[in-house]
Amino acid sequence: MGKLLVLMLVMMFLAFESLEALDYGDALNKSILFFEGQRSGKLPTNQRVKWRADSALSDGSLANVNLIGGYYDAGDNVKFVWPMSFTTTLLSWAAIEYQNEISSVNQLGYLRSTIKWGTDFILRAHASPTMLYTQVGDGNSDHSCWERPEDMDTPRTLYSISSSSPGSEAAGEAAAALAAASLVFKSVDSTYSSTLLSHAKSLFEFADKYRGSYQASCPFYCSYSSYQDELLWAAAWLYKATGEKSYINYVISNKDWSQAVNEFSWDNKFAGAQALLASEFYNGTNDLAKFKTDVESFVCALMPGSSSQQIKPTPGGLLFIRDSSNLQYVTTATTVLFHYSKTLTKARVGSIQCGSTQFTVSQIRNFAKSQVDYILGNNPMKMSYMVGFGTKYPTQPHHRGSSLPSIHSKPEKIDCNGGYSYYNSDTPNPNVHTGAIVGGPNSSDQYSDKKSDYSHAEPTTYINAAFIGPVAALISSSG
Ligand SMILES: *[C@@H]1O[C@H](CO)[C@@H](O)[C@H](O)[C@H]1NC(C)=O
Ligand SMILES: *[C@@H]1O[C@H](CO)[C@@H](O)[C@H](O)[C@H]1NC(C)=O
Ligand SMILES: *[C@@H]1O[C@H](CO)[C@@H](O)[C@H](O)[C@H]1NC(C)=O
């Protein structure tokens, strides 16, 4: 009897401990803070990530334009506008969808600043109605050096698209980002919001009128899914932002572009567009039924036990799309799962049918929650994949600024090759890049925590951006 009581108490303590361990508010704080470590340009006085300093203050000078600011993409020092725009769209989506949850932990102001650091740059990059700068920095030279952004001396080559050399993926995603952000700023700064919206409309027109696939950032970011997904995604955001019928008519007349997919990523935005348009369908636009069918195919492809399941999770229960920065697909998929369960709840639809299997809304939501919990520590490695969250987390992210001593502690320049002694040292990074979510474990739920293992150890802006909505969705339910 006594033994049983002790056992029960121990179990209760463990259960309580694991609840305590997953503080979603703390995870949200940290996932937003991460973006300060990715900032390019002149840092503001309220910068909280202190190991960073000003960098790339001449970006754009090769063409006499101001392209200072924006975000470094991942562990490198290149600014890729196409994924940066996707990041900005995802951040804005989270701010719109989970405004109350985010504001309840006092993070809304920080999230808005994070979005604005992206949108200010995209506005600058949109130099004229049919001209968008799409990349700053030569990817090959940057990737062959291991340098702090503050020391960077590789060519800051400029890439752009125009009516004569179009790139509808990049222009379409930039339109989506600015349209989504216009909703975020609508009640806070209506002038800024209108500026965002007018650039969004102009970028969409550019993307649609001068159609062509964006391949200039390849091999780093190649478009595999072409641009129809970005055009639908941008039109869906513009409809949400303006309520103008022309955008919904565009989507309806091009609905055959929409495909059933099982990945949502910087390349392929169909699932995101389908999720947005499915909620418009439930709101009475019957012509959008195809998007409801397609988003349900996406959900059904992911749900364990679904008769139409396409994605096999790891033994530990993590969605596994591919062994290269896999967590990006987990966070984006989870974004859609939470969004669609919210849509179903609002529409008072209790379940969906996946072939011969039925899933209730709470089953979908619980599966989405299991992915967030896995990332934060409920996994076979018993570690968090977010730097600085919990007690055990990655110590060697593949990240230049984090792995080299801060410019404040070692002001002498560390050149292109000089950085490699740090890269090759099997020691924890000197700067803890708090909030950074790395590429994640392999298909056997294992993680080796080595800087050189970039497909698992590299953080990226879009992994974090897609995590913010899901972790915010759990804040109200965690009390
Ligand atoms: C998040 O940070 C804000 C201030 O930055 C603080 O007020 C809040 O308590 C934090 N929330 C959690 C859950 O840690
Ligand atoms: C749904 O429609 C109502 C009334 O037309 C509108 O007020 C609301 O904003 C719409 N909701 C969405 C998610 O579009
Ligand atoms: C996963 O990682 C572990 C540890 O690094 C390694 O031993 C194992 O072979 C890897 N498995 C797969 C399938 O890559």
- Ranges of beta strands (E only) in 293-365 are 351-354, 357-360
Q: Which atom of ligand 2 is nearest to the CA of 346?
A: 13
Taking alpha carbons only, the member of 464, 471, 405 closest to residue 432 is 405
**Is the CB of residue 435 below 6 angstroms from any atom belonging to ligand 1?**
no
Q: pLDDT value at position 6? A: 59
Pair of tokens at residue 209: 């009128």
What is the 446 CA–ligand 3 centroid distance (Å)?
Answer: 6
Residue type, 27: A
Determine which helix (DSSP H) or strand (DSSP E) holds 403, and give its type and residue range.
Answer: helix 400-403
**Is the CB of residue 477 below 6 angstroms from any atom belonging to ligand 3?**
no
* 226 vs 218: CA distance, rounded Å: 13
Mean pLDDT confidence for 460-477: 94
Closest C-alpha to ligand 1, atom 2: 29
Closest C-alpha to ligand 1, atom 14: 26
CB-based contact 18:378 (threshold 8 Å): yes
> Residue 356: helix, strand or coil by DSSP?
coil
Q: Which atom of ligand 1 is nearest to the CA of 26?
A: 14
Closest C-alpha to ligand 3, atom 3: 446
Q: Give the C-alpha distances (Å, rounded to integers) separating 371 from 49, 222, 341, 354, 470.
A: 28, 27, 15, 20, 9
Q: pLDDT value at position 8? A: 57
How long, in residues, is the chain?
Answer: 479
What are the tens digits of pLDDT across the range 100-147?
Answer: 999 999 999 999 999 999 999 999 999 999 999 999 999 999 999 999
What is the 107 CA–ligand 1 centroid distance (Å)?
Answer: 7
**Is the CB of residue 444 below 6 angstroms from any atom belonging to ligand 3?**
yes
Mean pLDDT confidence for 436-464: 98
Closest C-alpha to ligand 2, atom 8: 283
CB-based contact 376:30 (threshold 8 Å): no
- Split at pLDDT 50, 70, 90, the class of 420 is very high
Q: pLDDT value at position 21? A: 66
Number of helices and strands in the chain (H, E): 18, 5
Cα 398 → chain centroid: 18
Q: Is the pLDDT of residue 14 over 60?
A: no
Q: Is the pLDDT of residue 15 over 60?
A: no
Ligand nearest to the CA of 183: 2
Q: Which atom of ligand 3 is nearest to the CA of 323?
A: 14
Closest C-alpha to ligand 3, atom 14: 442
- Split at pLDDT 50, 70, 90, the class of 478 is very low
What is the 75 CA–ligand 3 centroid distance (Å)?
Answer: 22
Closest C-alpha to ligand 1, atom 3: 106
> What's the whole-number average pLDDT of the chain?
95
What is the 55 CA–ligand 1 centroid distance (Å)?
Answer: 28
**Is the CB of residue 104 below 6 angstroms from any atom belonging to ligand 1?**
no
Q: pLDDT value at position 154? A: 98
What is the 239 CA–ligand 1 centroid distance (Å)?
Answer: 34
Domains, the chain: 2-477 (1.50.10.10)
Q: Is the pLDDT of residue 346 over 60?
A: yes
Closest C-alpha to ligand 3, atom 5: 448
What are the tens digits of pLDDT across the range 258-274?
Answer: 999 999 999 999 999 99
Q: Which residue has tokens 């990226």?
A: 460
**Is the CB of residue 448 below 6 angstroms from any atom belonging to ligand 2?**
no
Q: Facing residues of 24 across strands?
A: none
Q: Facing residues of 437 across strands?
A: 386
Q: pLDDT value at position 7? A: 55
What is the 237 CA–ligand 2 centroid distance (Å)?
Answer: 14
H-state helical runs in 215-288:
228-242, 245-253, 270-282
Prior bond of 441 cis (ω within 30°): no
Look up the pTM and report it: 0.94
Q: pLDDT value at position 2? A: 54
What are the tens digits of pLDDT across the range 318-334?
Answer: 999 999 999 999 999 99
Please tell me what DSSP assigns to residue 386. B
Integer Rg of the chain from CA? 22
Q: Is the pLDDT of residue 251 over 90?
A: yes
Closest C-alpha to ligand 2, atom 9: 283
Mean pLDDT confidence for 418-441: 98
Q: Which atom of ligand 1 is nearest to the CA of 110?
A: 5
**Is the CB of residue 287 below 6 angstroms from any atom belonging to ligand 1?**
no
What are the tens digits of pLDDT across the range 145-199?
Answer: 999 999 999 999 999 999 999 999 999 999 999 999 999 999 999 999 999 999 9
What is the 243 CA–ligand 2 centroid distance (Å)?
Answer: 10
Q: How many CA atoms lie within 13 A of 220 on its CB side?
A: 24
- CB count in 10 Å sphere of residue 432: 17
* 221 vs 135: CA distance, rounded Å: 11
Terminal C-alpha separation, the chain:
34
Which residues form the catalytic set? 398, 449, 458
CB-based contact 352:359 (threshold 8 Å): yes
Measured at the CA of 367, the angle between CA 364 and CA 373, to 5 degrees, comes to 145
**Is the CB of residue 105 below 6 angstroms from any atom belonging to ligand 1?**
yes
What is the 25 CA–ligand 1 centroid distance (Å)?
Answer: 7
Mean pLDDT confidence for 461-465: 98
Pair of tokens at residue 317: 């229960």
Q: Is the pLDDT of residue 355 over 70?
A: yes
Q: Is the pLDDT of residue 336 over 60?
A: yes
**Is the CB of residue 455 below 6 angstroms from any atom belonging to ligand 3?**
no
Q: pLDDT value at position 476? A: 79
Ligand nearest to the CA of 96: 2
* 475 vs 479: CA distance, rounded Å: 7
